[in-house]
Amino acid sequence: MDPVTSIRPLLAIAVAGLAALTILLLHNREKLRDLVSPVAAIVMFAIVASMAPTVLSGGTVDLRLFEILPGVDFAFRADALGMVFATVSSLLWIVAAVYSIGYMRHLHEHAQTRFFACFATSLAAAVGGAFAANLFTLVIFYEVLSLVTYPLVYHHEDEEGWSGSRKYLVYLMGASKSALLAALALTYQIAGSLDFVAGGLLADVDASAALLTVVYFCYLFGFAKAAVMPMHAWLPAAMVAPTPVSALLHAVAVVKMGVFCVLRVVFDVFGVGLVGKLGLGIATAYLVSFTILMASIYALTRDDLKARLAYSTVSQLSYIVLGAVLLSPVAMIGGIIHIAAHAFSKITLFFCAGSIYCASGKRNISDMAGIGRRLPWTMGAFFVASLSMIGIPPTAGFVSKWYLAQGSVEAGQVAFLAVLLTSSILNAAYFLPVSYAAFFEAEPEESRAAVHEIPMVTIPLVATAILSVLMGIFPGYFLTLADGVVR
């Protein structure tokens, strides 16, 4: 099918950018300002959705603006992989926008204008990355995302905020100004272009295997947002941000940008063939398996709920990379749809953590005994999302893990099946006790008073919990897209 030329990819980015500007202009009219984000989110989602039919039927929506350097254009392309990321981000922005208003108002947070403006810009950057047609365009949005999320991380402007945000920026910028920069310069030198090419830009170049291997690992660690160990420490540090940020950005937009970039490199820069030929697939698979297991063990030891969720994210991100580098079609599909599955479930879990904090001021799991009786909706949603993270049907996580497991068998790598199973047990071990304590343990006397659900916070998290189940029952949309990537 011929590519469709349309301004819609740019329009989707522009909506969020304009929303950020509008928010800044309306800084002293709070009610109106707060309305901007949900409206922009709905418009953005509609624009993204309007491209879905074309992409689902195997086409792409292209927009080439101008040439930056010979072989490098400022260009956009909505293809199957980009649509997975863009759909998830724009859909969840609607929910997160509502949630943020409830959360920020309830806690009387300061600097709300800056918060909402940076939030909207982050979404512009995420969708810009999703629709980027080459590495240059992608990296521009990648870096914008690092920068505009920085004020969101230091939001509280206290000691903890400054040190956490410093670590955040040091890791992300450090990786991109060293490994990523070198990878880009070398790729441009070797291939004379930075375009994404089906089958791999570097597939047929004349370069030594050693050099290509170096370039590959420069990408893998340069895109630190993917949080492959040892480049993961920024993510727990970013948890000092207000919870809506942790939810949409540090469970969906930012981290998915990282794995999305890694998938782009595997599929469209190196190509599955070259990654296999150089033996990089298996090497990466072992590397991310280590991350999967180690991060789960870290998660087990954390009592702070958001920290536990952060380490769980580190672990789950590596599932996505694992799926891609196993290089079997089924495993790749599993990895790609895990972008969506993990997003729906993890955002729910973070929303729950925020809801608990808003309602009771509690952050530590050990203080949450019996809280399920005060916050039944919140803890109910938490339980559903936990099931999805563990991979129990009929939730979204089951579908992606099923494909991943089947894929590792198909690839003849049964060792990774063991990794997946062990990890699932660990997931159960660090998620289920939270639900158990919340519903079955006795509530301490002093914390009973005045803890109740906050509607504007609870409704969004119930919605995302429902999404987690819906995707488990109707995974067709994401499966079709993933199939389009693999084909």
For 269-330, give the DSSP string.
IIHHHHHHHTTHHHHHHHHHHHHHHHHHHHHHH--BHHHHHHHHHHHHHHHHHHHHHT--HH
Q: CA-to-CA distance for 471 and 84, rounded, in angstroms?
A: 13
How does strand 61-69 pair with strand 4-5? parallel
- The angle at the Cα of 450, spanning 446 to 451, to the nearest 5 degrees, equals 85
User: Residue 235 burial by CB count (10 A; 0-12/13-18/19+): exposed, middle or buried?
Assistant: buried
Task: Please say which residue, 74 or 286, places its beta carbon nearer to other proteins.
Answer: 74
Q: How far is the CB of 395 from other proteins (least distance, A)?
A: 38
Task: Please say which residue, 190 or 278, places its beta carbon nearer to other proteins.
Answer: 190
Q: How far is the CB of 200 from other proteins (least distance, A)?
A: 19
Task: Please say which residue, 49 or 181, places its beta carbon nearer to other proteins.
Answer: 181
Q: How far is the CB of 36 from other proteins (least distance, A)?
A: 20
Do 225 and 172 meet the contact criterion of CB atoms below 8 Å apart?
Answer: yes
Q: How far is the CB of 69 from other proteins (least distance, A)?
A: 7
Say which amino acid occupies 376.
Answer: P
Among 127, 132, 186, 202, binds other proteins (CB under 8 A): 186
Task: Name the 3-class secondary structure at 63.
Answer: strand
Task: Please say which residue, 48 or 186, places its beta carbon nearer to other proteins.
Answer: 186
First vs last Cα of the chain: how many Å apart?
13
Task: Please say which residue, 73 or 79, places its beta carbon nearer to other proteins.
Answer: 73
Task: Please say which residue, 137 or 427, places its beta carbon nearer to other proteins.
Answer: 137
Locate 361 and state its tokens: 């001021």
Total residues at interface with other proteins (CB under 8 A)? 30
Among 53, 66, 206, 450, binds other proteins (CB under 8 A): 66
Percent helix / strand / coil, the chain, rounded to 5: 75, 5, 20
Among 29, 177, 448, 452, binds other proteins (CB under 8 A): 177
Among 5, 189, 301, 366, binds other proteins (CB under 8 A): 189
Site for other proteins in 67-96 (CB under 8 A): 67-69, 74
Whether the bond between 394 and the residue before it is cis, its omega within 30 degrees of 0, is yes
Q: CA-to-CA distance for 359 and 458, rounded, in angstroms?
A: 10
Site string for other proteins, 135-164 (x = CB under 8 A): -x--xx-xxx--x------x--x----x--
Beta-ladder partners of 77: 62
Q: How far is the CB of 281 from other proteins (least distance, A)?
A: 25
Q: CA-to-CA distance for 437 and 129, rounded, in angstroms?
A: 40
Stretch of 5-13, 61-69, 196-204, 425-433 lying at the interface with other proteins (CB under 8 A): 61-69
The one-character DSSP state at 341 is H
Among 25, 42, 50, 188, binds other proteins (CB under 8 A): 188
Do 96 and 42 meet the contact criterion of CB atoms below 8 Å apart?
Answer: no
Stretch of 7-15, 89-97, 186-194, 362-370 lying at the interface with other proteins (CB under 8 A): 186-194
Give the number of C-alpha atoms closer than 13 A to the C-alpha of residue 248, restricted to the C-beta side: 31
Task: Please say which residue, 84 or 139, places its beta carbon nearer to other proteins.
Answer: 139
Among 13, 117, 169, 288, binds other proteins (CB under 8 A): 169
Element (H, E) at 480: helix 476-486
Task: Please say which residue, 182 or 283, places its beta carbon nearer to other proteins.
Answer: 182
Beta-ladder partners of 75: 64
Task: Please say which residue, 178 or 364, places its beta carbon nearer to other proteins.
Answer: 178
* Angle, helices 376-390/396-410, rounded to nearest 10 degrees: 10
Q: CA-to-CA distance for 40 and 17, rounded, in angstroms?
A: 9
Q: How far is the CB of 83 from other proteins (least distance, A)?
A: 24
Task: Please say which residue, 152 or 331, places its beta carbon nearer to other proteins.
Answer: 152
Task: Name the 3-class secondary structure at 374.
Answer: coil
Task: Name the 3-class secondary structure at 68.
Answer: strand
Site string for other proteins, 100-139 (x = CB under 8 A): ------------------------------------x--x
Site for other proteins in 204-263 (CB under 8 A): 211
168 forms part of the interface with other proteins (CB under 8 A): no
Stretch of 95-103, 168-176, 434-442, 463-471 lying at the interface with other proteins (CB under 8 A): 168-176
* Residues 273, 274, 279, 280, Cα dihedral to 10°: -110
Site for other proteins in 345-364 (CB under 8 A): none
Nearest residue to 341 via CA among 404, 284, 276, 283:
404
The one-character DSSP state at 239 is G
Task: Please say which residue, 144 or 459, places its beta carbon nearer to other proteins.
Answer: 144
Among 184, 295, 341, 482, binds other proteins (CB under 8 A): 184
The one-character DSSP state at 3 is P
Q: CA-to-CA distance for 441 and 39, rounded, in angstroms?
A: 41
Q: How far is the CB of 291 from other proteins (least distance, A)?
A: 23
Q: How far is the CB of 201 from other proteins (least distance, A)?
A: 15
Stretch of 184-192, 253-261, 269-277, 416-424 lying at the interface with other proteins (CB under 8 A): 184-192
The one-character DSSP state at 442 is P
User: What residues line the site for other proteins (CB under 8 A)?
Assistant: 66-69, 74, 136, 139-140, 142-144, 147, 154, 157, 162, 166, 169-170, 173-174, 177-178, 181-182, 184-186, 188-189, 211
